[in-house]
Structure 1
C-alpha cells in the first residue's frame, strides 16, 4: 500500500471513555469529528487536510485506525453535541475489536518514539511540523522512512 499521503495524526478521545469508530470496518466511511470552539479554530484545522490525505488515529495510547480523507473540505453538522465539524473518511486499516488491543499497536511502538503519547487534543497534527517528530525521524530518512516503518508495523505490505 502506498502511504505517501500519510502526513497526519489525530488523537481521539470519546467523553464516555469508550473506543471511537470501532463499529466501522475496513472500507466503510464515517464522519471524523472535530470539536467546535467559539473562534472556529478547530474548523480551520479540520479544513487543512487535503482529499486523499491519510491520518493515523490514536486513542487510549494505541493507534486504532488509518483513515483516508474523502471530502475536499470540512463540513458542518448542525446536530447537538461537541463534534460538529467533520471530514468524511474511509477506513484503510483498523485494529481488531479486541480491547485492550495487542501491545504491537501501542502508539509509541507504531510511531517509534515515546513523545507521540504527549500529542493530545483533538486537532489533526501534521507530522512534519512537529519538532519531536522531526527529532525522531529526520536523521532516519524523514517522513518517507516513517511511512515505510508504519507500513511494516501495520502489515500493509
Structure 2
C-alpha cells in the first residue's frame, strides 16, 4: 500500500457513550467522517489524502478522503460537517486492541497524545512531529514506519 499521501491525523471522541467511533467501518467501507463546526479545517485534506484516526489513545483507522470538499448535514447537531472517506485499515480487535496500536507506539513519541480536538492536523506542521521525525525525509520515514508497523500490504 502506498502511503505517500499520509499527511494528516485527526483525534476522534466517541459520542453517546460509545466505546469507539466508526467501529463498524472496517477495510473498504465508506463512511462520513465528521467535523465540528470548522469547514475551513474540514476542507483542508485534499482528495486522496490519507489520515490516521486516533481515539482513546489508539490509532484505530487509516482512511482515504474520497471527495473534494466537506458537505453539511444540518441534522447532525455540532458535528454537521463531514467528508466521505474509505477505510484502508482498522484496528481489528476492538475488544482488546493491545498496546501495539497505541498512538504513542504508532507515532513513536508520547506527545501525540496531546493532539486533541477534532481538527485534522497536518503532520509536518506539528512541532512535536518535526522534532521526532526530523530532517527533510521525516514524513517519508514516518510513512515507511507506519507501513511496517501496521503491517500494510
Contact 1:108 1:114 in 2 (8 A): yes
* 1:31 pairs with 2:32: yes
Q: Secondary structure at the match of 1:98?
A: coil
Q: Match of 2:115?
A: 119
What are the superposed Cα offsets for residues 48-67 of structure 1, whole Å, 9 maximum, x if unpaired? 11000000000000000000
2:71 paired residue number: 75
TM-fit CA distance, 1:119: 0.3
What residue number does 1:39 align with? none
The secondary structure found in structure 1 opposite 2:133 is helix
2:57 touches 2:103 (CA, 8 Å); kept in 1?
A: yes
Q: What are the equivalent positions in structure 2 for 1:83-98 lying under 5 Å apart?
A: 83-98=79-94
CA offsets 1:52-98 (integer angstroms, 9 cap, x no match): 00000000000000000000001111214221000000000001143
Other-structure match for 2:45: 49
Q: Could you tell me which of 40, 56, 62 is aligned with 1:60?
A: 56
Change (3 A) 1:140 1:153: farther
Which consecutive residues of structure 2, in runs of 5 or more, have no partner in the other structure? Answer: none
Aligned residues: 152
Q: Give the whole-Å Cα distance in 2 for the aligned partners of 1:56 and 1:143.
A: 13
